[in-house]
Structure 1
Amino acid sequence: MTSFDTVVMVDWSAGNDRGPRPTKDAIWIGVQRGAAAEEPVYQRNRQEAEGWLEAFLTSERAEGRRVLVGFDFPFGYPAGFAAALCGSSDPLDLWDWFEARIEDDPKANNRFDLAAEINLGLGSGQGPFWFNTLSRDIEGLPRNKDGYANPFPAKRRCEDLASGAFTCWQMGGAGAVGGQVMMGLPVLARLRRKLEVAVWPFQPLNAPIGFVEIWPSLTAGPAPEGMIKDAWQVQQIARQVAQLPSARLDALLDVDAPEEGWIFGLGHEDELRADALPPLRNDCFALPPGVHWTPVSEAHDLLKQRLSAVTQTETVPLGEATGRIAALAVLAVRANPPLPNTAVDGYGFAGGRGAGAHELPLVAGRAAAGDAPGAVPEGQAIRVLTGAALPDGVDTVILQEDVVLTDGAVRFSGPVKAGANTRKAGEDVVAGQEIVTAGRKITPADLALLAATGVSEVSVRRRLKVGVISTGDELVEPGEAARDGQIYDANRPMLLALTEQFGHVPVDLGRVPDNRETLRGRLDNAAQDVDVILTSGGASAGDEDHVSALLQEAGAMALWRMAIKPGRPLALGLWQGVPVFGLPGNPVAALVCALIFARPAMAVLSGAGWSDPQGVEVPAAFAKSKKAGRREYLRARLRNGQAEVFASEGSGRISGLSWAEGLVELPEPAAEIKPGDMVRYVPFGSFGLAG
């Protein structure tokens, strides 16, 4: 199946140099590597854009990544034009023909003169190209369609199907696709010569780099307020295409248009729009003005509102779907049971029977599970075994224990209710019924249901890749010699294990000393490989708190002072588009913040949606005087139906984490808790952790 590591989408322009300041109607490039979307790239002219593309594609190939590149202009002309112009119907020969004749620099080009030359060469001088916008007249290129004569179709077949698409013969004015094509094909021809490129749909996309034709207006919605439409659209299209599972990408590429070319996604617009994930904005963690101490419930609401799934989708066989997040709702291929069948071993016949004795002759043979249904004449019975499809003429079964066999007949006493001991077709699930919802983590029980209803493969989210970094000069690895003042790194092993139990892919990003540039490099590398980064330590506002300092420097950071104990500082931000959760350095606080904030947030990012842990009200086996203001989480376990809490609330007592089997959650108001008072206990299993 076809797959790409990086998706690049280009909004092209036939205009002159637009200057250094980003503007509309210029060249914009959207890039998505895996789940990480980059800021749209502005290019002031075609020469700079060509150089940028060549350098970018060369770099991606050096890193071993396959790249899909989309350009928003036609790759071919209506049928017959290529052969008339260059003697070959191969559109790639036409690319080379234009590349040999187009003259282009940032301030001028010869596209109008070349269009006129083509018109005159084809005989009429009045077509197929039209619309000269220059101040000078050009023989052979009409200023408008007066007297226009076109020997070729006005549009390609795909443009006839794409409502609102412009013709490639128009050289100027609004919708001047003709100018874009003529100024774009030479660039593509040169990139083809320099790089290993396959062009769709003229060639199979089995080269390291694939070129496809796009039309952003096909699937990209309106831009957010304050964002240039072209920039927004290339970012959206890159995201839509990057999220396609390999099987769906193959389906969209299955097009036969060997001369004219085709618009990628045409006919699949609703699917692409529906699967589009909104980008994480740089302000997704920003707090409202005036907020200092953030209550837990308010933090949860803000995270729910501002985060969205970042994982791509893929199609996997049923046997590989356990624990994966369903990307789309799954529908039953067929009913369960597919046919009416018997629930018991016994004898089947049509209709019920009233009170009294009954005798029915038996037909030869029997109906067993897996047998094709036969037929039973009216007034006769047949031997049936549990799970067998009911033969025609059978809708009722009597248990074998309730009958007597004699002389090829079955005798029993009524009454027997019509339909007894049978299952109706589809009484469990009907064909086409939704059996797994999008966002559900697929369980072994789900596999049974999917298999029973004929589902063999499932569209799932790729597992969220979570990188874990520990920071601090004081840390050493377990097993190493620790000097006075140094401690062993307890957080990284804990957070990596938590990540795995949450169902994500843990990526050990190692330990980083208190050096800002070293941390910057580690974050730079991590952003290319993971979907989320968890750090511990350095999340406050001191001189050595480099996590928060770097996120602040990147312009995408919020320091949330949480009204929670243990915990408080939680640095949240984006690094090159990748969410970063800066957890406290204390292991107890790091665990609590990971469970209360990072776990549900990562569930959203993975495509599973927000989930709150389930707690139970139980009597307290402790006494506590709680101050108002913060929500507190006490390390706890259940014994004899009561919640015990660890002897010390000190955040440095790591042994309490191992002792505990869950948390007691105490809300923000002040409270005097006495033994026997009801408290909320949340077992670790409710957070998705194994016992």
Structure 2
Amino acid sequence: MRFDTVVVTDWSGASTPSPARPSQDAIWIGVARDGEMATSYHRTREAATDALCTLFAAEIDAGRRVLAGFDFPFAYPRGFARALTGTDDPLALWAEIAARIEDGPDNANNRLDAAAEINRRFPGAGPFWANPLGRDIPDLPRTKAEHANPFADKRACDTAKGAQPVWKLAGAGSVGSQALLGIARLQALRKRFGAALSVRPFESAQTPITLVEVFPSLIAKTVAELAEPGEIKDRAQVRILSAALRALAPEQLDAMTRDGDLEEGWILGLGHEGAIDSAARKGLAPAILPPRLRNDCFAMPQGVTWVPVEVALDKLRAALHPVTAHQTLPTAQAAGRVLAAECIARRSNPPRPNSAVDGFGFAHAATGAGVQHLPLVDGRAAAGQPFDGTVPMGAAIRILTGAILPQGVDTVVLEEDTALDGGAVIFDGPLKPHANTREAGEDVVEGAQALPAGHRLRAPDLALLSALGIPEVEVFRPLRVGVLSTGDEIVPSPASPAAPHQIWDANRPMLLSLAKGWGCEAVDLGHVRDDPEQIEIRLNDGADKADVILTSGGASAGDEDHVSALLRRKGTLSSWRIAVKPGRPLALAMWQGRPVFGLPGNPVAALVCALVFARPALSLMAGAGWQRPQGFTVPAAFSKTKKPGRREFLRARLTEAGTAEVFQSEGSGRISGLSWATGLVELPDSALTITPGTPVRFIPYAAFGLV
């Protein structure tokens, strides 16, 4: 069973609310889901229980399975449950404890009196002990020396370093109070969620919510190493352990939940500390939470005015890195996502030598030149139906495509090249050794890299990964790209009328479509007039909702270019005058830690700058690496005299003859040319005279990821 969400709760047996300021020895809840981690602090058990109920209900509604771990014992040493309830079932003991415990919304509780009441059921003074109160409680010894315990001091699983007796109700490291109060709360969760919740290892049902006992000290050294500077220990424990358990292979984690004794229970992961330690380091690898970009990452050296295209691209490439978190997805659901880690073959493909054709298999050493006459053994080998016996030397067997080669078979003759004579097969030799067979691992060998990190998964990749037994993959969360258009002249939608001095917004739908086509999550930030205050509000909104922001319009240095003015005043702006046509002004800035690409307002220039500059930059930030468009050389079907100094991109398409024709006008206001074209002709920075037949570089739209 696969768990989509892992929750780890560090419980508390306190009798008063924890401090308002997050602190140690309180209730902390850690949640790990798809590479995303969150922690929360709760002052009371009731507040924590309410939060868990809300979380569990939301996960059930979303169709996600939850593994919820709690750091207190789920059961008691052998014999206690039967002595108190008449049965060995720990869950019957839960109901008995819950019936005795009173736990108020302010953490006021009767746990010590309830323990004393249970003690009265047994001879002597015990099994519970440790009374920290100023008042004496009859039948509850203050110290262990005063108590008598008819049961074992610890469970079999309490041998882990640091584990305390469940009978101890107070003092350093004690868990007795946490267990009494925690079990009562878990029993309430059982009633609340009914058949949707189960408790391992006592129940084996596969339910949306599974409760388990955890002990963060199993990986205490790892927690100490991976904790953030100054981080509260309890917070670090739930954060790191939840991430570690979520990073385990699904089948490995599910198997751990089934370990243990049906009467005494078990600590999840006991005996598997090494696996959890490795998973913690994997689940919290630095790449999962990449650093933010530096505020000066787009700065150009002083004195630089016109920036060549290649210099601009190199500068972008050096300044950027992946900025999204990792998440784990089932392979079948990962199409279009970018791998955050390499995929390693779990087994060879094919796993065993098999037949490439329908025919008859035999040992090559038993044949030679001329007519071969081999008796057939009873049975056959087929894909999914292997032959269990051995084919004797000098005999043959009927074999079908994909069947594992039986013992004694290393060569196959094609069925069409044979004849049957009673119980024998006849064919002409010689055949080459291993003819018509596939070697084990001839496609991919077990342990080899199947796909590298940074690869965007396509349908054929899903076939490969599935064939290699890879059930899930670690991928980057889609890059969130916010798109904002600006300008007083812009009418946001063609559904609204436009006056002669106004134009409908062409850039925003174009850029949103581009972002979506590049595998990003497109975030529509709408349109805003040339009002600095409103632009600032929208940029703030974009910083909250997106990883990167694309704006169109206002990127130059004119009086009405409010985007660049605002970015210069309140953000970190680098205005690049790139030697490119169309395009030129490209504003690159940081706004509240988010990179902003200020594209030209002209749709033709906006598209060219988006394809040439934004596309490779967004690809790098999304984890897919720097994508350079693949063009090819074709003869020109046009004439042009180009001046030196700027890289030019002409709207173009290929003719039936394989030549490149360009749009009739180079005017950047001719939006129809974008739709007419199927790609761009790229002309170098130098001067150039082009006549029909001159070789030019054509880059199809598809090479820019535009389909």
Tell me how far apart the structure 1 counterparts of residues 189 and 376 of structure 2 sit (CA, whole Å). 76
Q: TM-score, normalised by structure 2?
A: 0.68
What corresponds to 2:91 in structure 1? 91
Tell me how far apart the structure 1 counterparts of residues 207 and 394 of structure 2 sit (CA, whole Å). 69
**Structure 1 residue 18: deviation in Å?**
4.4
What corresponds to 2:628 in structure 1? 613
User: CA 1:467/1:618 → structure 2, altered by over 3 Å: closer, same or farther?
Assistant: closer
User: CA 1:57/1:127 → structure 2, altered by over 3 Å: closer, same or farther?
Assistant: same
Q: Does the 8 Å contact 2:586/2:600 carry over to 1?
A: no
What corresponds to 1:482 in structure 2? 498
Matched, 1:661 2:640: no
User: CA 1:72/1:664 → structure 2, altered by over 3 Å: closer, same or farther?
Assistant: farther
Q: Deviations over 1:109-141 (max 9, x none)?
A: 6655654554455333254445x5567777755
Q: Deviations over 1:59-116 (max 9, x none)?
A: 9589878784543333333343344345664436536635744566869766556545
Q: Deviations over 1:487-518 (max 9, x none)?
A: 333344334433443345x5675735565898
User: CA 1:512/1:207 → structure 2, altered by over 3 Å: closer, same or farther?
Assistant: farther
Q: Deviations over 1:313-371 (max 9, x none)?
A: 2353xxx66555567735355652733547797996633889xx756544359989769
Partner of 2:586, secondary structure, is coil
- Residue type of the partner of 2:173? G
**Structure 1 residue 476: deviation in Å?**
1.9
Matched, 1:568 2:582: no
What corresponds to 1:168 in structure 2? 166
Identity over aligned residues, as a percent? 30
Tell me how far apart the structure 1 counterparts of residues 215 and 250 of structure 2 sit (CA, whole Å). 21
Question: Which of the numbers 176, 179, 182 marks the counterpart of 2:177?
Answer: 179
Tell me how far apart the structure 2 counterparts of residues 154 and 545 of structure 1 sit (CA, whole Å). 73
What corresponds to 1:125 in structure 2? 125
Q: What does 1:329-478 align with in structure 2 at a 5 Å threshold? A: 329=343, 331=345, 333=347, 335-336=349-350, 338-339=352-353, 341=355, 350-351=364-365, 360-363=372-375, 378=393, 395=410, 419=433, 421-423=435-437, 425-426=439-440, 428-429=442-443, 432-434=446-448, 436-437=450-451, 439=453, 440-446=455-461, 449=464, 455=469, 459=473, 464=478, 466=480, 469-472=483-486, 474-478=490-494
Tell me how far apart the structure 2 counterparts of residues 349 and 638 of structure 1 sit (CA, whole Å). 59
Q: What does 1:34-45 align with in structure 2 at a 5 Å threshold? A: 37-38=37-38, 40-43=39-42, 45=43
Q: Deviations over 1:441-472 (max 9, x none)?
A: 4445446656766x495557597485755454
How many equivalent pairs are there?
650
Q: Does the 8 Å contact 1:13/1:25 carry over to 2?
A: yes
What corresponds to 1:285 in structure 2? 292
- Residue type of the partner of 2:329? T
**Structure 1 residue 382: deviation in Å?**
8.5
User: CA 1:234/1:487 → structure 2, altered by over 3 Å: closer, same or farther?
Assistant: farther
**Structure 1 residue 428: deviation in Å?**
0.7
Q: Does the 8 Å contact 2:246/2:283 carry over to 1?
A: no
User: CA 1:120/1:665 → structure 2, altered by over 3 Å: closer, same or farther?
Assistant: farther
Q: Deviations over 1:201-247 (max 9, x none)?
A: 35678887665544344567321223323223433445556678987
**Structure 1 residue 180: deviation in Å?**
2.6
Partner of 2:294, secondary structure, is coil
Matched, 1:198 2:213: no
- Residue type of the partner of 1:363? P
Question: Which of the numbers 210, 223, 231 marks the counterpart of 1:227?
Answer: 231
User: CA 1:417/1:638 → structure 2, altered by over 3 Å: closer, same or farther?
Assistant: same
Matched, 1:24 2:24: yes
Tell me how far apart the structure 2 counterparts of residues 458 and 167 of structure 1 sit (CA, whole Å). 40
Q: Deviations over 1:399-419 (max 9, x none)?
A: 999999999997978xx6862
What corresponds to 2:581 in structure 1? none
Q: Does the 8 Å contact 1:159/1:166 carry over to 2?
A: yes
Q: Does the 8 Å contact 1:9/1:238 carry over to 2?
A: yes
Q: What does 1:139-288 align with in structure 2 at a 5 Å threshold? A: 145-146=144-145, 149-160=148-159, 164-189=162-187, 198-201=197-200, 211-218=211-218, 221=223, 222-239=226-243, 253-254=257-258, 259-264=263-268, 267=272, 269=276, 272-273=279-280, 276=283, 284-287=291-294
What corresponds to 1:498 in structure 2? 514
Q: Does the 8 Å contact 2:525/2:538 carry over to 1?
A: no
Q: Does the 8 Å contact 2:652/2:662 carry over to 1?
A: yes
**Structure 1 residue 24: deviation in Å?**
2.9
Tell me how far apart the structure 1 counterparts of residues 610 and 124 of structure 2 sit (CA, whole Å). 77
Partner of 2:375, secondary structure, is strand
- Residue type of the partner of 1:567? L
What corresponds to 2:327 in structure 1? 311
User: CA 1:157/1:539 → structure 2, altered by over 3 Å: closer, same or farther?
Assistant: farther
**Structure 1 residue 477: deviation in Å?**
1.9
Q: Does the 8 Å contact 1:341/1:422 carry over to 2?
A: yes
Tell me how far apart the structure 2 counterparts of residues 399 and 282 of structure 1 sit (CA, whole Å). 56
Q: Does the 8 Å contact 1:324/1:460 carry over to 2?
A: no
What corresponds to 1:600 in structure 2? 620
Which residues of structure 1 form unaligned runs of 5+?
none
Q: Does the 8 Å contact 1:245/1:312 carry over to 2?
A: no
Partner of 2:330, secondary structure, is strand
Q: TM-score, normalised by structure 1?
A: 0.69
Q: Does the 8 Å contact 1:2/1:205 carry over to 2?
A: no
Tell me how far apart the structure 2 counterparts of residues 678 and 232 of structure 1 sit (CA, whole Å). 62
Q: Deviations over 1:225-278 (max 9, x none)?
A: 233232234334455566789877765655676554444555462574365255
Partner of 1:428, secondary structure, is coil
Range that drifts further, 537-546 or 255-264: 537-546
User: CA 1:561/1:470 → structure 2, altered by over 3 Å: closer, same or farther?
Assistant: same
What is the CA RMSD across the aligned residues, in angstroms? Answer: 5.8
Q: What does 1:36-75 align with in structure 2 at a 5 Å threshold? A: 37-38=37-38, 40-43=39-42, 45-46=43-44, 49-50=47-48, 53=51, 56-57=54-55, 60=58, 68=66, 69-75=68-74
**Structure 1 residue 594: deviation in Å?**
3.6
Q: Deviations over 1:527-569 (max 9, x none)?
A: 6xxx86765459989999799999x99xxx9767678655323
Tell me how far apart the structure 2 counterparts of residues 331 and 284 of structure 1 sit (CA, whole Å). 30
Which residues of structure 2 form unaligned runs of 5+?
302-311, 579-583
Q: Does the 8 Å contact 2:331/2:470 carry over to 1?
A: no
Q: Does the 8 Å contact 1:491/1:590 carry over to 2?
A: no
Partner of 2:51, secondary structure, is helix
Tell me how far apart the structure 1 counterparts of residues 190 and 554 of structure 2 sit (CA, whole Å). 48
**Structure 1 residue 426: deviation in Å?**
1.0
Tell me how far apart the structure 2 counterparts of residues 665 and 471 of structure 1 sit (CA, whole Å). 29
Partner of 1:226, secondary structure, is coil
Q: Does the 8 Å contact 1:70/1:213 carry over to 2?
A: yes
